[in-house]
Amino acid sequence: MKKLRSSSSWLPTLLFLLLVFGTMQFVSSLNLISVYWQQVFMSACIMAISALGLNLIYGYTGLFHLGQAAFYGIGAYTSALITYYWSRMGPKLPIDFLGLHFDLSMTAMFLLALLAGALMAAIVAYLIGLPVLRLTGDYFCIASLGFNVIVYVLFNNADRLIPVMKGARGMVGIPRWTSWPWVFIFTVLALFGMRNLVYSSVGRAIISIREDEDAADVMGIDTAKYRTLAFVIGSLYAGLAGGLYAHLYTFLHPTCFAWIKSCDPFLIVVFGGAGGMTGTIVASLVWTFILEGLRVLLPRGFESWRYVIYPLIMLMIMLFRPGGILGRRELGFLKPKGIEVARVERVPAAASAGSDRPEERGSKDVSSED
């Protein structure tokens, strides 16, 4: 009786992912789309990683977090500093294998730097979370925003401590190591990691905090622990995205990590549907392409009108679909696994209270198979 449906739906998922990867790889290697649009697509995926992190914090845990850009920046600067020095001082191990040309030493250090950036963001999130996560609602929002402002000021003056960060002039000389395969791999990993986390007991504990914290507490859920966990993992995602961003544009400026930039992933999460992964991914793509697309579509000299048009689109969405474009609806492999209905003996009183289905008491294990 009662079997978890073991859906063997990994094949279409794999095909879909290979198709996305292959198409992009194909069109960029044949120069069918310009480097500029390749970058736009990659930055959309990077934004999606950061937004997925924020979706965990805001969409699933319910923390009104307006400081995602701070953790994005921490990840960006941390990983950039590592690769900045390594690309200048580290050993070089060029590899030529099956037509693939890459430098093993640089690639390994790139991955380590991304990891370090993500971990640094997570550690800072943990430490800042100790005092700040006691706050709820609007107070947490203000505190996270305040933290973002502090980090921004630190970045602006970082050159006094670490000269190569160049403070308000912006850090240059970061190797351009972010490429489509890496962006793709990390986006997919981030997505699968998030899905697996959300559809687990840990995920349920996190969502219960959003739903009703006191009720979660009296069910034995250590809400303080899971609030911290969600905040740390969400920031880890931001740190990872920041690292990828740094090595895509090779230039970091503190204004990229000002609190106003925290609104971008926030808008995406709300726009796509808070508490939904599919919506977040779709919204990241749509948002990035609306912004960049308007730059092309609008007549010369009117480009800045896109900052008028895209808020209007947002406004429309919020008026007509307040839950976001997809809400909490999930598609494809992001859907939760179906679970078969199980039947066991039923309480007579409970059965008669409200439901008029036939009594099934005594007929234990109706669908008994095992």
Partner 1 sequence: MSVLKIKKLTKYFGGLRAVHDFDFSIDEGELVGLIGPNGAGKTTIFNMVSEIYPPTAGEIEFMGQSIVGLKPHQVAQLGIGRTFQKIRVFKGMSVLDNVRLAYHPHAGYSIKDAVLHNALFSKREKELTERAQEFLSIFGLEDKQDELCGSLPYGDQHRVEIARALATEPKLLMLDEPTSGMNPREALEMVDLIKFLRDKFKLTIFLIEHRMRVVMGVCERITVIDFGEIIARGEPAEIRNDPKVIEAYLGERMAKELAAA
CB 238 within 8 A of CB 71: yes
130 is a contact residue toward partner 1 (CB under 8 A): no
Question: 303 or 359, CB closer to partner 1?
Answer: 359
Region from 9-17, 147-155, 291-299, 339-347 binding partner 1, contact rule CB under 8 A: 339-347
49 is a contact residue toward partner 1 (CB under 8 A): no
Question: 187 or 208, CB closer to partner 1?
Answer: 208
187 is a contact residue toward partner 1 (CB under 8 A): no
* CB 236 to partner 1: min, Å: 12
Among 90, 146, 170, 193, binds partner 1 (CB under 8 A): 193
202 is a contact residue toward partner 1 (CB under 8 A): yes
217 is a contact residue toward partner 1 (CB under 8 A): yes
Angle at 250 between CA 30 and CA 147, to 5 degrees: 130
DSSP string, 52-113: HHHIIIIIIT------HHHHHHHHHHHHHHHHHHHHHHS---EEEETTEEEEHHHHHHHHHH
30 is a contact residue toward partner 1 (CB under 8 A): no
Q: How many CB atoms lie within 10 A of CB 207?
A: 18
Question: 132 or 206, CB closer to partner 1?
Answer: 206
Question: 169 or 225, CB closer to partner 1?
Answer: 225
- Number of C-alpha atoms within 13 angstroms, CB side, residue 272? 30
Among 96, 99, 355, 362, binds partner 1 (CB under 8 A): 355
230 is a contact residue toward partner 1 (CB under 8 A): no
* Burial classification of residue 99, based on how many CB atoms lie within 10 Å of its CB (0-12 exposed, 13-18 middle, 19 or more buried): exposed
328 is a contact residue toward partner 1 (CB under 8 A): yes
Among 8, 97, 350, 362, binds partner 1 (CB under 8 A): 350
14 is a contact residue toward partner 1 (CB under 8 A): no
In the chain, which residue ranges form alpha helices assigned H by DSSP? 10-29, 35-54, 68-89, 104-132, 137-156, 180-198, 201-211, 213-217, 223-249, 259-272, 277-297, 306-320, 348-352
Region from 43-51, 123-131, 153-161, 346-354 binding partner 1, contact rule CB under 8 A: 346-354
Region from 45-53, 170-178, 259-267, 345-353 binding partner 1, contact rule CB under 8 A: 345-353
297 is a contact residue toward partner 1 (CB under 8 A): no
303 is a contact residue toward partner 1 (CB under 8 A): no
Whole-number Cα distances in Å, 17 to 20, 271, 334 = 5, 24, 13
Whole-number Cα distances in Å, 248 to 4, 135, 211, 284 = 43, 36, 38, 17
Among 14, 181, 339, 368, binds partner 1 (CB under 8 A): 339
* CB 204 to partner 1: min, Å: 5
* Burial classification of residue 47, based on how many CB atoms lie within 10 Å of its CB (0-12 exposed, 13-18 middle, 19 or more buried): buried
Among 203, 234, 272, 324, binds partner 1 (CB under 8 A): 203
352 is a contact residue toward partner 1 (CB under 8 A): yes
Separation of alpha carbons 96 and 93, rounded Å: 10
* CB 280 to partner 1: min, Å: 16
Integer-rounded Cα radius of gyration of the chain: 23
Whole-number Cα distances in Å, 157 to 5, 82, 104, 112, 133 = 56, 19, 34, 26, 27
# of chain residues touching partner 1 (CB under 8 A): 48
Separation of alpha carbons 128 and 145, rounded Å: 12
Question: 65 or 210, CB closer to partner 1?
Answer: 210
Among 130, 214, 312, 362, binds partner 1 (CB under 8 A): 214
Whole-number Cα distances in Å, 329 to 88, 204, 234 = 47, 17, 21
* CB 362 to partner 1: min, Å: 13
Using CB under 8 A, list all residues that contact partner 1. Answer: 2, 4, 193, 196-197, 200-205, 207-208, 210-212, 214-224, 229, 275, 328, 338-339, 341-355, 357
